[in-house]
Every structure is written in C-alpha cells, then in structure tokens.
Structure 1
C-alpha cells in the first residue's frame, strides 16, 4: 500500500510540476498505518457522525493524502491525474468541501491541531467513543497555536486525541534545529501533559502500537522519527526536496528504487 501511494504521488507531482514530495514520502507510512489498520472510517459513508476524525495539519503534503484516499476508495484513482489542475478538487492543499474524506481545510501551519482538539472535545461532550488523529510537521511545532492546543487537550483530559509529529528534522529551507530548537522534544510534550511515544516512523509495527488508545488517560503525542524523501536515495534527508519537482530521468530512477525496495 505504501509503495503504491508513493508511486501515485510521484506521478502526480511529475505531471503537475509542483508539490511537496519530500514531506509526502516521509508521512506516507504514517498515513498507510492509519488508513490501513487504525482509523474507523468508511469510504462509502465518509460523513458518518461516529467516524474517527483524521486531520492532515501539514496540508502541503496533500499529494500523499489524496493518494491514500484514492487507494482506500474515497474517490476513483483516475482523479489523481487532475492534481493541481485548473478547477480540480485536488488542490495543492486539501479542501473538505471538495474531497471526500478530508475533515478540514489545511495549509496555514498551526491550524490542524487546534481543530483536532475541538473535535476531541466535542466527542467527549457527546459521550462518543470516536477518536481524533492529527498529523503535523515538526517545523510546524514552532507555531504557538499548537502549544495552546496542547495545553487545552491536557486540561480537558482528551485521551481520544492522538497528535502525530512527522519528525523528519527538515523544514522549508533548513533543518528544524537550525531554525528553532525543538529538543528535548519528548520532554517538552510530556511537560504539557501528554503520553509521549517516541518511535521509528517507518516501522509499521511501531506505528501500529503507537496509534493505539491512551493507556494513561492523557492525550497521546507520537513522535514519528522519519526520513524526508523516504524510499528514494537522491531525495532522502535533502532539504531541497521540500518542494523540488523531479525530472523525467529522476522519476524513472525513483520508480525503480521504490518498486525494487
């Protein structure tokens, strides 16, 4: 599933000549785990009131989300060919009014976690067992709104919310630690009242275990240590692949590496 998602995403970005492939590839295994084994969602009934909520706060990696939703049957795979084209519902950032399975519009960083906390608080008030998941970039954790959301989640004891940080250590233009230091990251999250799970972010068994419900009654924070551009040698851990578009020759090499892995 993860390989197919990456291949479709590669094709989409090559056709559109825009996208954020490095972050797409770092988050793919997280999305694969959630949609393949964790989320209670139904592509035939995407607005079921009791569905789990998933928010991709790092909305610039929409390509990975669209490929995942298509794989799971939320819309036909053929629609991926329209990515970022004029009037396509598959915009450069996800839009909940146009794409089945998208819970909220994201793009401006620092918005997804507050929305997720709102969803989780609503579920608690309604006595609903539904869970809420949000995926954020690590550079995005420099936004103050995320720490306000973290305080709120802990204050209301929202154990149904799981915040997953795609910890690839690179953001647009530089490393996260060169831009604004996050470490000691696990300690900071724990001090805000979270049950922290620090894991290898491309290990499916570790991801599956880390996305299970809270064991402490606290909200859960998963630090998923990932590789930007995961799966393609010339993209991995290279800051320029935040939004670089591969050439046709690079696409050929990437396809070979992904399919032979």
Structure 2
C-alpha cells in the first residue's frame, strides 16, 4: 500500500525520497509585484556594489560646498558637511540592507526552530514556547533595540540583535500553524514508521514543505527591519556618524531641512520608502499567493 501526501509519495516498504526545497515563484504576483521585485533587486545590487560605484569618498568633506546643489560631477549635490550625497547614498545602502538581513536571518532561523519544536513535541513544550513567545512579542521591537543599545552600546550590531529577538516570536507564531498542519499529514507518520528520526524528517521534509511561507514572511519582515533600523539610526543608537547610512542621512539632514536645504533627508528618505514599500508589497503578494496555493 502507498501513502501519499501532497507531492511526496511514501511507500510502505520503500524509502521516502528526499524532499526538494520549493521556493515561491513570482508568477501571479501582478505588475506591482514585478515592479517591487525589480526595485528590490536594484537595491540589493546597490548594496553590494555601491562602495565600488561611489564617485567620491563618502566621508570626504569640504565645508565650502555645504548645501551646494547639483553640479556636473555631483548630481545630487552636497550635505551640511560638504560631502557628496550620491556617494553617501550608494555606500549607505550596504549598512541599511545588511542590518535588515542580519535581523531576518536570525529571526527566521530562531523562529522556525522554535515553531518546529513546538509543533513536533506539542504538550507542555508547545505551551512553554508559546507563552515565552507571547511574552517577548508584547515588547515593541523598537523598544528592545533601544534597550540593546543601552546595554551593549550604540551600534548597528546591538540594534540588529535586539530586533532579531523581537521578531523571532512573530516568526514562531506564524510558522507554528503551518508546522502543525504539516506535522499532522500522513507522510510524517509513514516516515516515522520507516524509522526516520524527528531531526531528519523536520530538516529533509517538513521545513522544505513550508519554505514558501518562510520566504514570504522573510520578505515582509525585511521591510519592517529596514524601517526599525533606520529609526534606531535616526535616534543615534544604531549606525554611528560619520558612517554613511540612510537612517543617519535622514537624521543629519534635519539641519538642512530647517535651513531650507532638504535634499539629504529627502533623498535618503525616498530610498528608504521605496525599498520598504517594495519589500512589503512583494511579501504580501507572495503570502497571498501561498494562501491560494493551499486553498
């Protein structure tokens, strides 16, 4: 007799095949999803190659050029310190994207591990993990980032780690439901009968089956993480000046706004809004598509 679950056949006498990872496809996300994906790809390329593309050193200042507008070799003009805005925008993309990436990697890994353990063990283990997640989830991420900076000192790393702790319960809550549904399917029982260990089943079958959900949630959370980290840097608790960062640029541009030169804040703020909105839109479209695929 053969037991089947979804796309994974399991023979009563054979060995279940290794489950291949399935990542969500962009097909069906609509034109706005494609535009969002294009903006995200462009932002990632700028984050990777921005320091190489920057025409001038991002921290090279010339006070005689403070608030000077666009020129031939400086298309975005200069900030309050006479630094080239285009160079700082290109270089600042890396720290803005890297911090969010760190948050997502840690929170997705930690949240998925907690969710799978809770779904697999159930009982008191599930209750303890759920209660602990609810307790941490009650604290706003920005508040934890501020506390992290107060304990470990203002830096991008302390803010990113604190935000990762705040995001992990959210991931665990979302993934737990999917893991419980997957855990109840017949192929899991068939694999257990065949002698497969819980670790092997989770890594080789259960987690790959919920990978599209993980990608969708990671995409949504990336936008939130970028926003929170920019807010932390704006408050002076994240990336520290004079390092180029979009949140720092928005903060330093306040002086220009008050003096009638809003270019720095507007340029960095526009870049942040485009990236954050693009990640949120694409993540929501992937999440909706994932829900339709399972309906």
TM-score bracket relative to the smaller structure: under 0.3
What is the TM-score with the length of structure 2 in the denominator?
Answer: 0.24
Rg: which structure is higher? 2
Whose strand proportion is higher, 1 or 2?
1
What is the TM-score with the length of structure 1 in the denominator?
Answer: 0.26
